[in-house]
Amino acid sequence: MVAAPPRWLATGWGTSMSIEVSGLLGLLHLVLTVYAMVKIVQSMAGTGSKVIWIVVILLLPVLGLILWWLFGPKG
């Protein structure tokens, strides 16, 4: 005879907070990525520079955003 798991384990208690936090972080990352890409496209930088920055942001998600914020095209 197999014992049933504890009720808190069966309902997923303890995991919902980590799912909510990671979901919020994922949403924040998506918003920042879209914002950065819009700013890159609107900048006065050359087409090649714009393409490189977008590729960097897409291939290096967090690091790419940080690098763009520090070194990316302004205005």
Cα–Cα distance, 32 to 72 (Å, whole number): 14
Q: How far is CA 66 from the centre of its chain?
A: 12
Q: 7-61: per-residue pLDDT in tens? A: 655 555 555 556 676 788 889 999 999 999 999 999 999 999 999 999 999 999 8
- Residue ranges covered by each domain of the chain: 29-75
What pLDDT shows up at residue 7?
A: 62
- What pTM value is reported for the model? 0.70
Cα–Cα distance, 45 to 57 (Å, whole number): 16
What pLDDT shows up at residue 22?
A: 76
Helix (H) / strand (E) element for 69: namely helix 61-71
Residue 6 has pLDDT above 90, yes or no: no
